[in-house]
Amino acid sequence: MSNPTPVIEVRDLHKSFGNLEVLKGVDICARKGDVVALIGSSGSGKSTLLRCINLLENSQQGDILFKDEPVLWLGDGPERRPADTKQVLRMRTNLSMVFQQFNLWAHMTILQNVMEAPVTVLGLPKDVAETAARGYLEKVGIGEKCDAFPAQLSGGQQQRAAIARGLCMSPEALLFDEPTSALDPELEQEVIAVIKDLASEGRTMVIVTHDMKLAADVADHVVFLHLGRIEEEGPPATLFGAPKSQRLQQFLSSTVAA
């Protein structure tokens, strides 16, 4: 069976902050149902790449395509920015991002947090959004917390609420930026269980993670970034079992020792 059109495709992406070049020509591709894990040491460009995909950061060169539709740009280099705000909104709506810090609204209940974007962005009727939100909160294992406020939940529960919020937008793909790094090990496992469940359903995901076991368990394809370039990539069994580059070997040795 031929592979379908990629949901997300990045070609020769470059991103600088002032004189600091963070991404130096990166290509990645995630087809429907793919789970792509981005690994690498701090400062390698993983989170920046994810933010560029979601158009939270403007890249200076290269192409970003969503289901074969390229992002339209105005200007060049440092002046480059998206040309069409409606296109940006449409693409972002289809790419739900789950951040390291949960970004829940403190003054809203968990149910209200999950319902808010489907009502205000997608224009769903409140009763439809509420039914969906309750369903996703059940799915991530915190259905009984609908009426609680974020401050009343553990970090793991807050992150699961953030995942439910992302799912409630019915996105084409989920983007995770270090979804477990703010959690202690016990709470981390709650979130990993949800991510594994989503992967088993065939959801398209790009995951930035420091957790090599998570990458090995859920990813179809692992990308190792080093100093803004792809140093090595491939299936997790190859990348973790028989890494070719010396830099990846060093990185994996240090993460095992940590």
**Model confidence pLDDT, tens digit, residues 74-105:** 999 899 999 999 999 999 999 999 988 888 99
Domain assignment present for residue 152? The answer is no
Domain CATH code at residue 37: 3.40.50.300
The arithmetic mean of pLDDT across residues 31-38, rounded, is 95
Amino acid at 129: A
Total domain count, the chain: 1
What is the extent of the structural domain holding 67? Answer: 1-94+175-180+202-258
Give residue-wise pLDDT tens across range 108-132: 999 999 999 999 999 999 999 999 9
- Burial category of 22 from C-beta neighbours within 10 Å (exposed 0-12, middle 13-18, buried 19 and up): buried
Domain assignment present for residue 111? The answer is no
Domain assignment present for residue 137? The answer is no
Give residue-wise pLDDT tens across range 44-82: 999 999 999 999 999 999 999 999 999 999 999 899 999
Domain assignment present for residue 52? The answer is yes
pTM (predicted TM-score) = 0.93
**Residue 3's pLDDT is what?**
61
Report the DSSP beta bridge partners of residue 24.
14
Domain assignment present for residue 88? The answer is yes
Domain assignment present for residue 153? The answer is no
**CA nearest neighbour of 8 among 208, 205, 177, 164:** 205
Q: What's the first-to-final CA gap in the chain, in angstroms?
A: 42
**Residue 1's pLDDT is what?**
42
